[in-house]
Amino acid sequence: MPEWITAKMRQALPYFEKRMPGFITDEAIFIGAETRTSSPVRILRNKDFQSLTVKGLYPIGEGSGYSGGIVSSAVDGIKCADAIVCELA
């Protein structure tokens, strides 16, 4: 990720912590950032939403090329979560 992006993220995180105490913890995982464009690529995945080439990677949402907006990304995330729960059950 370009330094200008990570620098802005580092700058923004303390602001979120002030607005939402407990936002920054040792258990927190920074998963991804929203972009202003749709993905020009699609990360291939199987019927269980897992990447075909990287075990344990679940490409979902707009950045992975499987949806085109916040609602369809949310639905894609819910479907993926359901698939993971079924896999673990």
pLDDT in tens, 17-64: 899 898 888 887 777 666 666 667 788 999 999 999 998 899 998 878
- CA 83/CA 86 separation, integer angstroms: 5
Coarse DSSP helix, strand, coil percentages of the chain, rounded to the nearest 5 percent = 45, 0, 55
pLDDT in tens, 72-82: 999 999 999 99
pTM: 0.54
Which residue range is the domain that position 84 belongs to?
Answer: 38-89
pLDDT of residue 30: 72
- CA 8/CA 13 separation, integer angstroms: 9
Same domain? For 25 and 46 the reply is no
- CA 65/CA 63 separation, integer angstroms: 5
**Total structural domains in the chain?**
2
pLDDT of residue 62: 82
Same domain? For 45 and 84 the reply is yes
Q: Which residue has the higher pLDDT, 5 or 11?
A: 11
Residues pairing with 45 in the sheet? 51
